Amino acid sequence: MATRTKSLPTAPKRQTAGKKDPPLRSGPYRFTRAVLGYFWFLTTIVGATVYLQTTLVLYHAADVWTHWGAILLVVPLAVGYVMRLANIPYGGWVLLIGGLSAATVVYPWYHDYWFEPPPLYAAAVYAAITAGVASIPLLPFKRLAGALWHYLTYRNKAKRRSNSRTGREPMFGSAKYSATVDTLQLVIAIASLVISLISIGVLSMP
């Protein structure tokens, strides 16, 4: 006598039509996150700078190098790293506006706090340092490494095959614009890091 076996129910089909985008892709949600990132950058940079300069806790605990290194290097790097973890959108604009805002807040306070007020260009240097150094954790290192690898491999192939069908290929291939922007961000970040280290050395001199 034959026995009947029950067939397993088929898995329901996923409905793709009419599927809405997640909230992260919506414009207002991204703008709200960018505003929150801006306030995080501003309050942390200004708060840490004013606190360390008022209390001189690191100056007394360690030395003047540690004091200025924390203000001009460690704090901006930490802020940028948190922004990377939080995936803050429009990071470039957040850093640019945040750096200018931080300099606008800190410079008048420094002008009244210091016995010898700093020159006006010091505010621009401070804005460039905080925004540029904070952008280092936000750099697209994978894309930069991929663009560099593409350029090196293509240059080796171009030496073997001088007459190609497509002619001379751009330095960064089809993603030339994106790679150019990434490279510009890298140059700005390195320049800001160098300015930060020079400023720490100058301010730490007796």
**Single pTM value for the model:** 0.72
- Rounded to whole angstroms, the Cα distance separating 133 from 138 reads 10
Whether residue 142 is predicted with pLDDT greater than 80 in this model: the reply is: no
Whether residue 189 is predicted with pLDDT greater than 70 in this model: the reply is: yes
* pLDDT, tens digit, 9 for 90 and up, residues 82-137: 999 999 999 999 999 999 999 999 998 887 777 777 888 999 999 999 999 999 99
User: Coil, strand, or helix at residue 46?
Assistant: helix
User: What pLDDT shows up at residue 147?
Assistant: 61
- Rounded to whole angstroms, the Cα distance separating 143 from 148 reads 8
Mean pLDDT of 50-57: 93
Mean pLDDT of 70-78: 95
Burial label, 147 (beta-carbon count in 10 A; 0-12, 13-18, 19+): buried
Whether residue 166 is predicted with pLDDT greater than 60 in this model: the reply is: no
